[in-house]
Amino acid sequence: MKPIEPTDTSAPIDAVTCTIRAAHVEDLDALFAIDSRCFPPEIAYPKEFLQQLLCSPTSVPRVAIADTKMVGFAIVEMRKHGLRPVGELVTIDVLESARRKGVGQCLHAAIERAVQQRGGRKIRLQVSVENETALRFYERLGYRTRGRIPNYYNNSIDAWWMEKIWK
């Protein structure tokens, strides 16, 4: 499979044409480029960590493609919590040009289905207390804040611990 490069950030994206597929190790460079565009260097993931996630049997990585270009990705790690698996949302990254067009919602829906297919009834995540846009996004998706984690990002920025539970 030929790797897909991330799209030009100035190109408009139509969410109707967005498709979701499993991410592969061949997508590593594109995922790293997208993550580097979405987050400052002190918060963006190192390439080696993304590679670990792509190769991990407990990871569920998905990419969003629009007009043959990769415009975002999401990764959830499956963990055991008591008798049931729980999804730990590592990240949802969407290029600026594809935001507010439903790409993040499509990626999240794919991740949620994957967690449910593996027997999970809950997804947990951490989000910076400074990232109001992401906080509102997750609240719209049904997440509830469960607590605050001091110095979570870069040993200086607090995070909200959030989770979504379904029956």
Stated as kind and residue range, the H or E segment containing 36 is: helix 28-38
Residue 10 lies in a domain: no
Q: What is the pLDDT of residues 30-63, one digit of tens each?
A: 999 999 999 988 889 999 999 999 999 999 999 9
Domain residues for the domain of 157 are 16-165
pLDDT digits (tens, 9 = 90+) for 61-96: 999 999 889 999 999 999 988 888 999 999 999 999
Burial 117-127 (b: 16+ CB within 10 A, else e): eeebeebbbbb
Domain total for the chain? 1
Residue 115's CATH number: 3.40.630.30
For 114, which DSSP code? H
pTM of the model: 0.87
Which residue reads 């565009």 in tokens? 37
Identify whether the C-beta of residue 75 lies closer than 8 Å to the C-beta of residue 53.
yes
Nearest to 56 by CA among 27, 70, 71, 76: 76
Query: Token digits for 124?
Result: 């947990």
The maximal CA–CA distance of the chain, rounded, in angstroms, is: 46
Structural domain contains residue 76: yes
